[in-house]
Amino acid sequence: MEQAARLPLLGERVPSFEAQTTHGPIKFPEDYRGKWVVLFSHPADFTPVCTTEFAAFQKRYEEFKKLNCELVGLSIDQVFSHIKWVEWIREKLGIEIKFPVIADDQGKIACMLGMIHPGKGTNTVRAVFIIDLQGIIRAILYYPQEVGRNMDEILRLVKALQLSDEKKVAVPANWPNNELIGDKVIIPPARDEKTARERLEKAKAGEIECYDWWFCYKKP
């Protein structure tokens, strides 16, 4: 197994690769051009926590698709193992996994994306890469093998990134249930004195709301 590679950074283009999946061969990210992608790794097939994660991802798959977002799984198991595991989930749990799972049995893709952390063993950790329409990495999440992910948070993160892109705003903590401003979004801080004064004038006119010139917000 190769050593873990340098971790790709936010704002960088996701590395290209070709791989075999449960849905056949893919070229990534070329085959997903024009779509958002949640690329996630799991430690191993036929393990309890990973099984709960796949069930949870599939339960939300249609919600992801409504956001023009596809799911792609990955582990260092062989494709035969993936196929049998997905079959087991369908037969035993009544859940059909409709997204592809990459068979990275040589570990090359996992190493390239920094999904293998030597201090946590030779299997992939629970990594998540959220990739936008242009193939740019917009968010990275890492969980250890012993803790499953929160798929609602991953779904929220995709929604928040798309909203930020569309409206040119920032999104507060726990959005859309922020403790200070609820479901409203934050207007980027003013970068000069003139804009700062204009912000406060707009707040007085009721066009936006502000705690101060550097903390203004509005409805999405």
210 is catalytic: no
pLDDT digits (tens, 9 = 90+) for 122-162: 888 899 999 999 999 999 999 999 999 999 999 999 999 99
Domain boundary assignment for the chain:
17-149, 168-220
CATH of domain 168-220: 3.30.1020.10
Return the minimum-mean-pLDDT range out of 6-15, 29-38, 141-150: 6-15
Distance from the first to the final alpha carbon of the chain: 47
Whether residue 68 has pLDDT greater than 70: yes
For residues 1-22, give the mean pLDDT.
82
- Name the pTM for this structure: 0.92
The residues, any chain, with a CB within 8 Å of residue 194's CB and separated by 6 or more, are none
* Apex 147 CA angle, 108 and 21, nearest 5: 35
Token pair 């690329």 is at which residue? 39
CA-derived radius of gyration, the chain: 20
Its CATH architecture, for the domain 17-149, is: 3-Layer(aba) Sandwich (3.40)
What was the pLDDT predicted at 2?
45
Average pLDDT over residues 166-195: 96
pLDDT in tens, 39-48: 999 999 999 9
pLDDT for 1: 42
CB distance 182 to 176 below 8 Å: yes
pLDDT at 96: 98
